[in-house]
């Protein structure tokens, strides 16, 4: 089983993933880190060299490979859900958890993360307007893909992980989270 965390940049996927993995006794991987390691450059640089289509192809391939593993918590990139095949593969691999937060919280988290500006591209001009535009496009896809939605809001990463674990423990054998 692969537990995939989805959500917009700044929603806490890469922070919650190791907490879940530790609690479940499995590995965790940030798909964006794997993409950067294999490309030998940042996502921002991949976008500059290959455009978004080149990046999305790399993302689809890496996530497809990682979804074939067992006992893994996967922090997927915020736009991974843009590919229909990837959405389907995520759901087939195990629970898909959408970490959501209000736009203002996402903007504050992104602004407070110095690595974001260096490693991630602006997709629609940056700032709150970019987040609003991207969420308008992506929320229906997050919703389609997710088996569980968790509003991370002002909650700690540990609280978010515990909510998922409570949900997982409530599932009956053979039932998908």
Q: Look at residue 122 and tell me if it is in a domain.
A: yes
> What is the Cα–Cα distance from 126 to 9, expressed in whole angstroms?
12
Helical (H) or strand (E) element with 73: strand 72-75
* pLDDT digit string, tens, across residues 6-65: 999 889 999 999 999 999 999 999 999 999 999 999 999 999 999 999 999 999 999 999
Q: Are 88 and 66 in contact, with CB atoms under 8 Å apart?
A: no
Domain that holds residue 81: 2-169
Using a cut of 0.85, tell me whether the model's pTM lies above it.
yes
Q: Look at residue 108 and tell me if it is in a domain.
A: yes
Which range has the worst mean pLDDT, 12-16, 138-142, 172-176? 172-176
Task: Residue 109: give its domain's CATH number.
Answer: 3.40.50.300
Confidence grade of residue 75 (pLDDT, cut at 50, 70, 90): very high
Distinct helix (H) and strand (E) counts, the chain: 8, 5
Residue 70 pLDDT > 60, yes or no? yes
| Among 99, 103, 114, residue whose Cα is nearest residue 150 | 99
If one counts every other C-beta atom within 10 angstroms of the C-beta of residue 27, the result is 14
Q: Look at residue 175 and tell me if it is in a domain.
A: no
Mean pLDDT of the chain: 89
Query: What is the count of structural domains for the chain?
Result: 1
Provide the pLDDT for residue 5: 98
**% of the chain residues with pLDDT over 70:** 88
Q: Are 148 and 177 in contact, with CB atoms under 8 Å apart?
A: yes
Q: Are 134 and 40 in contact, with CB atoms under 8 Å apart?
A: no
Query: 102 in helix, strand or coil?
Result: coil
Q: Look at residue 118 and tell me if it is in a domain.
A: yes
């Amino acid at each position: 089983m692969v537990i995939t965390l989805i959500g917009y940049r700044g929603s806490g996927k890469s922070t919650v993933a190791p907490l879940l993995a530790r609690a479940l006794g499995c590995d965790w991987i940030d798909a964006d880190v794997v993409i950067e390691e294999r490309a030998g450059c940042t996502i921002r640089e991949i976008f500059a060299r290959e455009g978004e289509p080149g990046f999305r192809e790399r993302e689809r391939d890496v996530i497809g490979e990682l979804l074939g593993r067992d006992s893994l918590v996967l922090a997927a990139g915020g736009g991974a859900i843009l590919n229909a095949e990837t959405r389907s593969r995520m759901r087939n691999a195990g629970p898909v958890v959408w970490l959501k937060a209000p736009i203002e919280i996402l903007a504050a988290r992104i602004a407070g993360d110095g690595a974001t500006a260096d490693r991630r591209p602006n997709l629609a001009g940056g700032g709150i307007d970019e987040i609003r535009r991207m969420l308008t496009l992506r929320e229906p896809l997050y919703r389609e893909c997710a088996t569980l939605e968790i509003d991370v809001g002002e909650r700690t990463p540990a609280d978010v992980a515990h909510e998922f674990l409570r949900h997982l423990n409530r599932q009956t054998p053979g039932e998908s989270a």
